[in-house]
Each structure stands twice: as structure tokens, then as C-alpha cells.
Amino acid sequence: MSAEAPRRMEPPVSPVAEPFWAATRERRLVVQWCLDCDRPVFYPRDNCPLCLGTSLEWRDCTGEGSLYSFTVNHLSSNPTGGEGPFPVAIVELAEGFRMMSNVVNCPLEELRVDMALSVAWEELSDGRNYPVFEPRGGTA
Amino acid sequence: MSATSIRGASAIVGVADDASPTGQLELSGRALEASMIEQALSDAGLDIKDVDGVCHAGSSMQLAEYLGVHPRFTDSTMTGGSSFEVHVEHAAAAIAAGLADVVISVYASTPRGDRARAGGGGGRRGGPPPGMGPNPGLEWEMPAGIRLPMGAYALAATRHMAKYGTTAEQLAQVAVSTREWATMNPKARYQDPITIDDVLASPMQTSPLHLLDCCLVTDGAGAFVMTSAERAKSLAKSPAYVLGVGTCHDHSMISQMPDLTTTAGMISGPAAFSMAGIKAGDVDLLMGYDSFTITALLHLEDLGFCAKGEGGPFAEDGKLGPGGSLPMNTNGGGLSYTHPGMYGMFLLVEAVRQLRGECAQRQVPGAEIAVAHGSGGVLSCMSTIVLGTEAALS
């Protein structure tokens, strides 16, 4: 991570997502799991968006995934703290859900759709950590 | 209600729109809306006293109060840029079912004029409009620094390029063909031709989208009037009959889109075409929402003008421009004519004028069937309207 302080907009915590953000304090990535459909539910909700059921439990994720898509943003300030254009990504997690984040520790020209990624963590001001992703096995 | 009871039961009988090469309009707010409604009613040979149905993408109740109308059909559907296609769909069903006789819809937005009137400061950005409910994007997307809306479309474009080999040049061709049409629209914001190199040399916004891959931000306004097919026959202009309608949305946030390379147009398009009894090859004119070049390219695939993944090669020989086999966005589109925020109204207005033969230099000869395909949100809500002339009705 860059030495410069991150300038990230710190995510608000919705009540249903409290366990997600609590786990990030221990640098654990967790996801809701619908026990009826046997599938992940993300973003966190009170109901499974497939069956509307409420049998949802939190499970740990491997933190491994791939780069579903990305865009290099030339217009906004870099939330990860670096200078210049930065990648916004949709990451496909191994458990079968997608989340928006950033890819870090990867030169822009080495970004590739479907490349293997692992979760990394960026400290937020209140003790939470924001899940970002880096090329699997560390710096590309 | 069966599909056959909607097909041909109603028509768009009056239209109006306004925009300016300066990007700015004099009027704003309700005054601009009222002016559009008056022009659209006058275009139809109708009067405000005839109106018994009101659609608005904000509040149909507030608009009706302002106008002094007491509608028996009311629709405040707000699905972003496709709201007005959905209004046509709902109005067509309502008219067919006897719930309304004369329905209006109107849109006005003046981001440039508002900024100027406020003294040149920046306008409101981000955050949900009041009354829109919780916005999960604040928690799950905005912290990643995505620039919306363009970042969402950029994500779709990146995936499409990786999966299908679509090139930046092919995307740029959509902007080039659209600008060719804009050279023939005296109200268009930009009327000078551009090249693929111009697009690629314009500043990168959020990759792979360059500035000229992106729609404008301009003032603009428009309105339409619909009535029954029966009443339409006695009005001022040739009716543009509603032959088919279809709508589907499959996400609100881009990170929830099931497949970044396939839109809900795969549902709305075939539904509308099937109701109309047409195939893609029957379409004389496509007004396909072009918030970004990738948006229009996805419509070509999802509406069946070419196979999935073939949008790039399909666009690259210029068949979307003047003289091409599939004239698209003949008013110059959101890319070159106007884009005040929710552009779907302008798709309908141009489609109707083309079917009437009113488009002068840019007229598509003998246009009988036009498709207005709206896209709202971030590739979220697709709504497809098939319009046709009297000849297409039988």
C-alpha cells in the first residue's frame, strides 16, 4: 500500500451489514449464505434475493477471486492514496458473488480481465478495513 | 390482457422537443414542461382540456396540479432514461383497456442553464434524489471511487472487449456515425463531423471510454401525446401506431448486473418485436439510447440486429450512419444532439417524426417501422417501443 494516506470515502454501515464490517476489523472477508438456496447473498440483505427466505448465515470467504471487469478512472481522486488514474474493479469471488473494489499493487498495464486476485486490506479510520484486491501471490 | 389488444390500439399523435447548439435553453422547470406540452398538443390538434392521463418521471400528481388537469390515468414511473418508453407502454395498455383517452408525458431538464443561473457553481452531484429510499451504492460502490454513471458503462465495455474482441475503434465508429446524423440536425449541440482518430484522441475519462464515447450534458425538453387508434385517425398528423412494447430491468447497481455484456434488452426487445409481429430485419430506423458508445452497441446485439458479441464488427462499416442499412439515432443522439440526463423522450420524438416524414435532410426514405429503445439507470431498465405507420399496422 502506498505510504500516502488513503482518501477513500469511508463506507457507511447499514444495520444488516454490521457483521460484514465487524469481520473486516479482523481482516476477514465474510458473506451471507442462504441456507435454503445454498448460495451466497451479496450485498448483505434481510432476505435472499432468490427465495426471499431469511435463513441467512455469515460464512468466511477464501478471499480469492478473479477480475470480472475493471475501468481505469482518470477523473476522480485515487481512493487508495496514490496519484493519478486508478482501477475500479468488479471482482468475482471464488464463492460465486461479485463486489466492487479496487485492484492495488498492480501496474495499470498489467490489468487483465479474469486475472487471479486475492483480497488485501486497507485500514479505515474507525478500525474497520476496506477489502481491496491484489494479483494473487502478491505484486505482479 | 392479451398482447394483440395493445398492438395497434393506440398511437403517438403529438410530439415536441427542444435543444440548442449552445447547449442551453431559456426556459426551465414547469414553464419549459408546459411549453412542451402545449406544442405537443398543438402538433396533435388537441387541447389541454382533452387530456385525461398524465405521465411524469418525477411526480405526475404535482405536474397535473400545475396544469390543472384531473387525470383518471396517472403514472410517475421513474426508471431513469427509459422512463418515457415505459410511459408509452403503460399508456398504451391504459388506452387499450379504456382507462384513458388522451395521455401526455413530458420531460425537461436544464443542467447548463441551472448552473448559469446559480452563478456558475457546480450542480448537485451524487446521492439519491429525495424520497428515493436507501442507496446501497453509498456502501458498496462509491467507496471504490467509481465515477458514475460513466464508470458503470466502462466496466461493461472492458468486459465486452475482453470477451468478444471489441475494439476501441469499433466503439468510436458509433460516435462517428452518430455525428454524421447530427450534421443534419440544426438543433444539435455538435454538428461538425468527427473521425475515429478524433474519438481516440479525445481525453480518456474512465477506460476504455474517451470523452467522445460519452453523451453530452445539455439542456433539453420534450413531450408526447397519445390517444386511441380510432381517435388518432381524425387528428392533425399521421399517427405513429404503438405496435409493440416490452420492458425489463435486471439490476440497479452495476455491480449487481448479472452479465455485464448482456442487458435486459434481451427480454424487452423480443417481447416488443413479438407483439408487433416484426423481426429485426423489418426495422427501418433504430433509436437506441446512446448514453455511451457501448450502450448503443449492446442494444444492437440484444435487440437481435446482430449476434451477441458481433456489435463491434456490425458497427464498423458505417451501416448505422446516413445511407447505411440500419439508420440509428438520426437526430444525432445523446452523443451529439442533446442529453439532459434522461434522454428517452428524444428517442420517441425523433422516431415519430421519421415515420411522418418530417425529418428533412436526415429523413430516412420510406420509414414505416421505427424502434425506440430506452436504457435507464446504469444499463438497468430497458424498455422497447415499436412504432409504425398506417402501412405497418395491417
Q: Domain of B92: which CATH number?
A: 3.40.47.10
Show residues of chain A in contact with B147, CB under 8 Å: 73, 75-76, 88
User: What is the predicted pLDDT for the residue at B120?
Assistant: 58
Q: Indicate yes or no: CB of A13 within 8 angstroms of CB of B139.
A: yes
Show residues of chain B in contact with A102, CB under 8 Å: 144-145
**Mean pLDDT over residues B56-68, rounded?**
96
For residue B134, what is the nearest residue in chain A, using CA coordinates? A14
Has the ipTM of the complex gone over 0.85? yes
User: What is the predicted pLDDT for the residue at B118?
Assistant: 83
**Residues of chain B with pLDDT > 70: what percent?**
95
The three grid cell numbers given for residue B170, joined into one nine-digit string: 469499433
**Residues of chain A with pLDDT > 70: what percent?**
94
**Mean pLDDT over residues B216-237, rounded?**
97
User: What is the predicted pLDDT for the residue at B131?
Assistant: 43
Among B135, B138, B140, B147, pick the best mutation site for testing chain A contact (most A Cβ within 10 A): B140
Q: Indicate yes or no: CB of A12 within 8 angstroms of CB of B138.
A: yes
Residue B123: pLDDT above 50? no
Show residues of chain B in contact with A86, CB under 8 Å: 145
Residue in B14, B12, B25 with CA at minimum distance from that of residue B338: B25
**Could you tell me the pLDDT band of residue A138, with boundaries at 50, 70 and 90?**
low
Domain boundaries, chain A: 15-135
The three grid cell numbers given for residue A108, joined into one nine-digit string: 495499470
Q: Tell me: the pLDDT tens digits for B318-333?
A: 999 999 999 999 999 9
* Residue where the block lists cell 439515432: B329
**B207 or B1: whose pLDDT is higher?**
B207
For residue A72, give the nearest of B139, B162, B206 by CB distance. Answer: B206
Q: Tell me: the pLDDT tens digits for A35-57?
A: 999 999 999 999 999 999 999 99
Residue B75's identity, in one-letter code, is D
Show residues of chain A in contact with B162, CB under 8 Å: 69, 112-114
Residue B61: pLDDT above 50? yes
User: What is the predicted pLDDT for the residue at B134?
Assistant: 67
User: What is the predicted pLDDT for the residue at B108?
Assistant: 97
What burial class does residue A126 get, using C-beta atoms within 10 Å of its C-beta: 0-12 exposed, 13-18 middle, 19+ buried? exposed
The whole-angstrom separation of Cα B178 and Cα B193 is: 9
Residue B202: pLDDT above 90? yes
Residue B205: pLDDT above 50? yes
**Mean pLDDT over residues A1-18, rounded?**
80
- Let me know if residue B177 belongs to a domain: no
Show residues of chain B in contact with A68, CB under 8 Å: 159, 260
Show residues of chain A in contact with B256, CB under 8 Å: 43, 98
User: What is the predicted pLDDT for the residue at A1?
Assistant: 45
DSSP H stretches of helix in chain B: 3-6, 29-44, 60-67, 83-96, 111-117, 137-140, 150-164, 168-182, 196-201, 229-232, 265-276, 293-302, 311-316, 344-356, 390-393
* Mutual angle of helices B168-182 and B293-302, in 10-degree steps: 100
Q: Tell me: the pLDDT tens digits for B233-254?
A: 999 999 999 999 999 999 999 9
User: What is the predicted pLDDT for the residue at B170?
Assistant: 98
Residue B52: pLDDT above 90? yes
Residue B140: pLDDT above 60? yes
For residue A8, give the nearest of B143, B159, B256 by CB distance. Answer: B143
User: What is the predicted pLDDT for the residue at B141?
Assistant: 96
**Mean pLDDT over residues B78-103, rounded?**
98
The whole-angstrom separation of Cα B79 and Cα B86 is: 8
Q: Indicate yes or no: CB of B142 within 8 angstroms of CB of A9.
A: yes
Query: What value does the mean pLDDT of chain A take?
Result: 93
Q: How far apart are the first and last CA of chain A?
A: 14
Gap from A101 CA to chain B (nearest CA, Å):
5
Q: Tell me: the pLDDT tens digits for A72-113?
A: 999 999 999 888 999 999 999 999 999 999 999 999 999 999
Q: Tell me: the pLDDT tens digits for B252-277?
A: 999 999 999 999 999 999 999 999 99
Query: What value does the mean pLDDT of chain B take?
Result: 95
Residue A5: pLDDT above 70? no
For residue A102, give the nearest of B144, B147, B159 by CB distance. Answer: B144
Q: Indicate yes or no: CB of B154 within 8 angstroms of CB of A71.
A: yes
For residue A70, what is the nearest residue in chain B, using CA coordinates? B155
Residue in B175, B384, B192, B207 with CA at minimum distance from that of residue B297: B175
- Let me know if residue B167 belongs to a domain: no
* Residue-number span of the structural domain to which B287 is assigned: 3-115+215-389
Residue B390: pLDDT above 60? yes
**Mean pLDDT over residues B291-312, rounded?**
98
Beta strands A116-123 and A64-73 are antiparallel
For residue B143, give the nearest of A70, A71, A79 by CB distance. Answer: A79
* Number of domains chain B is built from: 1
The whole-angstrom separation of Cα B263 and Cα B275 is: 20
For residue A131, what is the nearest residue in chain B, using CA coordinates? B144
**Could you tell me the pLDDT band of residue B126, with boundaries at 50, 70 and 90?**
very low
Show residues of chain B in contact with A90, CB under 8 Å: 155, 254-255, 260
Gap from B334 CA to chain A (nearest CA, Å):
21
User: What is the predicted pLDDT for the residue at B326?
Assistant: 98
